[in-house]
Amino acid sequence: MISAHPSIPEAVTPTARASCPSSRFLFLSSCPEPWGGSEELWSQAALRLSSDGHRVSVCKTLVVRDHPRIRELLSSGVSVEDYLGASYLQLTFALVRRILGMMLRAAAPRQDKTHGSDGSQSHPAPTQSWKQRLLGLYQFIFGRRLKALAPDLAVISQGENFDGLHFSAACRKLGVPYVLICQKASDLNWPGDFVREEMRLSYRDARRVYFVSRHNQALTERQIACKLPNAEVVRNPFLTAGGAPPPYPETASGHFRLACIARLFVLEKGQDSLLDVLAQEKWRRRDLEVNFYGQGIHREALERAAEMLDLRNVVFHGFTDDILSVWSEHHALVLPSRAEGLPLVVVEAMMCGRPPIVTNAGGSGEVVDDGETGFLARGTDAASLDDVLERAWSRRDEWEAIGREAAKRIRLLVPESPGDEFAEKLALALNQTRTEATSHGRL
């Protein structure tokens, strides 16, 4: 079972929410798609805060107003806008002037010299890097809107752990209190030095930092070389019902079906490794079927790879949101990820009584007990994936019993309503911010 992190406060009580007067909450999402799994946590918290009488606004990119999640937010009184969309057309001319000015300054010869004590000239002082200029441009685009919205607390949701720096930089510049959500940290993606320093400032000055796994928190602390006493671990909402798991599929025929549910993005999700493993002769001979669910930029590449490898036991089904139907037809989950936060599909599979067969990426090892509630690979490479699949296959007659145990244990590790619990944490963070401001005479 997951032990409490030393920096995690005790569970938020309803009195914390009740003591927070009507306030302005602004949710900022860095998700570069119309909707992503990383947005379930903040959106459910936004709905809860709105129902509690707070004024809630959302800024994100690629807002599709007829998307079910966006419609739900709008119908609940939450304001949703695309911070790079039509509402910002009034900034066009100002942006053009800003960009032209940046280009002219970048092209101009540098005249600034530094002088030693003997009067000699040293190398020219370095000018701003293009990354710094780009961050400044993002701040300019977003800063005006942030000032107009004037939130009491900004909630910055990052799909990774440094893709919301323009939001936090603008908040720091304008003195807006903010918290960070980090949905993933990857060993494959370390920030460069300038980004690392901006990350350190962003995390240091956040009121709270919320990670979805201890692994992600520890990795982020290594990346910025800074401990985060303001950090804690929270859990994402799951998209399955919390009732009894669906009936386990029949196994009398000896035919087993695995579901691989993930965005089709091989750099992080590793479906290419799974195809390579399944191409081995031993797996071709086994009565095993693997069904892929999800969309992404590598769907065609993966389908062509399966054809090239002549894999006849593999099918790509595209995206589905009917998770219960998937688990009514599959015996176990396989997830060959190279980078993760804490995969929702692992939690959902366990909730549905299906054992996860997963690589040791992100926080998967924090909820899967190898050999007891699922099967955990030693690493994320193809050899580790083949080994864990082999171990799982040798115990396939136990999958139903392992799934039952998984369903019991995951309910002890994940709160019943993660979105509501997170909303209470946000209300508490705002209360603490106000208390500190009052004690320092700022309110």
Instruction: Give 102's pLDDT tier (boundaries 50, 70, 90).
Output: low
Cα–Cα distance for residue pair 322/122, rounded to 1 Å: 66
| pTM for the model | 0.83
- Where is average pLDDT lowest: 104-118, 230-244, 418-432? 104-118
* pLDDT at site 6: 34
Query: Minimum mean pLDDT among 29-43, 101-115, 282-296, 410-424: which range?
Result: 101-115
CATH 3.40.50.2000 domain span(s) along the chain: 14-91+135-237+417-439, 256-413
Tell me the average pLDDT across 82-97. Answer: 53
Does position 231 have pLDDT exceeding 60, yes or no?
yes
pLDDT band at 90 (very low <50, low <70, confident <90, very high): very low
55-81 burial: b if 16+ Cβ within 10 Å, else e? bbbbbbeebeeeeebbeebeeeebebb
Which CATH number applies to 256-413: 3.40.50.10860, 3.40.50.2000, 2.102.10.10, 3.30.465.10?
3.40.50.2000
Q: What digits encode the pLDDT tens for the residues 325-369?
A: 999 999 999 999 999 999 999 999 999 999 999 999 999 999 999
To which residue do tokens 């940290």 refer?
Answer: 185
Judged against a pLDDT cut of 90, whether residue 9 lies above it is answered with no
Question: How far apart (Å, rounded) are the C-alpha atoms in residues 420 and 150?
Answer: 24
pLDDT in tens, 143-152: 888 999 999 9
Domain 14-91+135-237+417-439 falls in which CATH fold?
A: Rossmann fold (3.40.50)
Rounded to the nearest angstrom, the gap between the alpha carbon of residue 6 and the centroid of all alpha carbons in its chain is 23
From 318, 317, 305, select the one nearest 277 (Cα to Cα): 305
Instruction: Kindly indicate the confidence band of residue 33, based on its pLDDT and cuts at 50, 70 and 90.
Output: confident
Look at residue 20 in the predicted model and tell me its pLDDT. Answer: 61
Q: Write down the mean pLDDT value for the chain.
A: 87
Q: Please check the confidence at residue 42 and state whether its pLDDT lies above 60.
A: yes
pLDDT of residue 227: 98
What is the pLDDT, as a whole number, of residue 91?
Answer: 47
Q: What is the pLDDT of residues 285-306, one digit of tens each?
A: 999 999 999 999 999 999 999 9
